[in-house]
Amino acid sequence: MDSGDRQSETDIRLTELGRLANPLFRGSRRVDTQTSVCSLRPVHRDRFDYDTFWTLLDRVRASHRLLRFADVKDALPETPFALLRHDIDYSPAAALEMAVQETARGVRASYFLLPNGPYYNVLDPRHAHVPARLVELGHEVGLHYDVNFLYGFAASRWQDLVRLQATLLESLSGQPVVSIAMHQPGLHGEDPLRHRTDYLNAYDDRFFRDMCYISDSARAWRDDAWNLLVKGPLPPRVQLALHPVNWGRADRSRLAIFTGIHAALADDLQALGAVLIDQIDRHAGVVEHEASLERDRRVEQQKS
């Protein structure tokens, strides 16, 4: 999740929007999204349910093609487009629910998976199927990488470590990893791999600074982003970053979402602890060991 606290990495850059909205910019035509039949209203700003999600996406795709990063690996289209990106920071289940809905409506997106986060593990049997399932649904699997992991090693090893994580996702998904995106850039500063060339980087200048960037990070809309979505016109080139954990069949408050994440994690750990104790108690060596101790105690009691 990109918290976007740094001024240089705000979700919408007004100085760029004026240039991007220009009909002469890179040969793109001006699109007036006010003519869309899908209208966002003030009430939608703090409503993060799927009805609002689809109102938002339908508004965008009324004038823009929704694309994955993999779709632009060779060149950026001349016609208006929006790169649809989903960072899976917390909940693979929420991502799969969103992915199924998108596929049913003919939408394909880029899903960025975090291999080494504290909230899920792509090698856990409960989650290992997620990359392949996303590909099966027609979506792209990208790497969401945590710089805190990289900072534990010499900078000369960072690219190899990113490639190692990408290779893991490729093995699980059955699809080459084309794109990467840094986890929480607003908290961790400048992306140290932003200018690498062997992967498309979501925070490369051409995707982040040279086009309009809109995000719902932390279940919140920046004023300029929301006004642009509501009033338009949208610039011809957009990166739209929507986090699956924020959205659900029913609207939930920010506090409910994130306390729920931690409550679920605590429940999982408690359940794992109970399983661990049960497995230890039933371990053949432990059973034999305890039985032997019990026999010894009885012998000692008889002697006394």
**What is the structure's pLDDT at 40?**
79
| Structural tokens at position 228 | 């642009």
In order of 15, 16, 67, 79, 222, the CA distances from 106 in angstroms are 34, 30, 11, 19, 28
| Structural tokens at position 202 | 């979501």
Binned at pLDDT 50, 70 and 90, residue 28 comes out as very low
**What is the structure's pLDDT at 18?**
35
Residue 17 has pLDDT above 90, yes or no: no
Q: What is the Cα–Cα distance from 52 to 75, expressed in whole angstroms?
A: 31
Q: Assign domain 7-252 one CATH number from 1.10.150.120, 3.20.20.370, 3.40.50.300, 3.40.309.10.
A: 3.20.20.370
Strand, helix or coil at 96?
A: helix
Give tens-digit pLDDT for 116-152: 888 999 999 999 999 999 999 999 999 999 999 988 9
Beta-carbon count within 10 A of 13 CB: 20
Look-up of token digits 């035509």: 29
Give tens-digit pLDDT for 150-200: 889 998 999 999 999 999 999 999 999 999 999 987 666 678 887 776 899
Element (H, E) at 110: strand 110-113
